[in-house]
Amino acid sequence: MRLTERTILVTGGGTGIGRALARQLAEKGNTVLVCGRRLNLLEETAKGASGIHPYRCDLTSSEDIRHMLDAIRSDGHRVDTLFSNAAILGFDSLAGGLDLAQAKKIIDANLFGPIELTQRMLDGLRETEDPAIVIVGSPAGLGPLANTPIYSSSKAGLHAYTLCLRHHLGGEVRVFEVFPPVVDTEMLATKKWKKMSPDECARRMLKGIERDQEQVWIGESKMFRFLQLVLPPGRLFGVVNDWSPPERE
């Protein structure tokens, strides 16, 4: 897919992979709108880059989503591409101590928020030329990680939604799904693992989309993909949870 001369909304564009995507997409000659809860970080993404416009929006709030879409329209932008990237991570135990309020926040931010935003944008996307939706998933949605059960559940739900969305839209809006590996962002700041840089991750995502790959598997996410294909579900869970990313030297 051509990734130039588009108007692209990147959720979670104030940090990490979203910021790298926004800047690379702007360099390719697109108009890029970035959203998130922290306006100062969105403004930092836009600093020094031409064609990046920040919009504050908490995706867990229907009101925020409606206000943002109204503001985008009244600023004269017609979005033809959505990069649904924002998410939060949570490490939880299910053995009695689950923080239910936090669990709901994760599901709202990672699953319901992206669904609501996508559904509210569909009519507008359909009116543009060659519209597309890119969903940033996680291998943890395919082989659930035992220490992030709610995050894994949200990403598994998002994967199911993505498959159904692609089916229902029947090519009218192209739907891509990208699976990052372990990436050096706020989300995993406390982990001393070897991590890919957000810039490299974004570069590979965009390359896969430009090559029309419906699913883009990056780095060790390819291993999850392979295991998912060859192992029965019971075995998959054990193997995935016995694996841990290599430590940084």
Ligand X SMILES: NC(=O)c1ccc[n+]([C@@H]2O[C@H](COP(=O)([O-])OP(=O)(O)OC[C@H]3O[C@@H](n4cnc5c(N)ncnc54)[C@H](OP(=O)(O)O)[C@@H]3O)[C@@H](O)[C@H]2O)c1
Residues that bind ligand X (CB under 6 A): 11-12, 14-18, 36-38, 41, 57-60, 85-88, 109, 113, 136, 138, 180, 182-183, 185-188
Give one DSSP letter per residue of 85-136, joined into a string: ----------SS---HHHHHHHHIIIIIHHHHHHHHHHHHHHTSSS-EEEEE
Q: How far apart are CA 104 and CA 154, in angstroms?
A: 10
Shortest approach of ligand X to residue 92 CB, angstroms?
15
Q: How far apart are CA 90 and CA 109, in angstroms?
A: 12
Q: 127 vs 163, which CB is nearer to ligand X? A: 163
Shortest approach of ligand X to residue 151 CB, angstroms?
7
CA 174, chain centre distance (Å): 16
Q: What angle do CA 59, 188, 115 make, to 5 degrees?
A: 25
Q: 180 vs 208, which CB is nearer to ligand X? A: 180
Q: How far apart are CA 17 and CA 199, in angstroms?
A: 7
Shortest approach of ligand X to residue 209 CB, angstroms?
15
Whole-number Cα distances in Å, 129 to 73, 124, 177 = 17, 11, 20
Instruction: Specify whether the CB–CB gap between 129 and 185 falls below 8 A.
Output: no
Q: 5 vs 190, which CB is nearer to ligand X? A: 190
- Options 83, 112, 151, 224, the catalytic residue: 151
Whole-number Cα distances in Å, 71 to 112, 121, 124, 125 = 21, 13, 14, 16
Q: 16 vs 90, which CB is nearer to ligand X? A: 16
Establish whether 55 is a catalytic residue: no
Shortest approach of ligand X to residue 178 CB, angstroms?
8
For residue 50, how many C-alpha atoms fall within 13 Å in the half-sphere facing its CB?
Answer: 3
Q: 3 vs 151, which CB is nearer to ligand X? A: 151
Cβ neighbour number for residue 163 with a 10 Å cutoff: 11
Shortest approach of ligand X to residue 121 CB, angstroms?
15
Report which residue's Cβ sits closest to ligand X.
16
Q: Catalytic residues, which ones?
A: 151
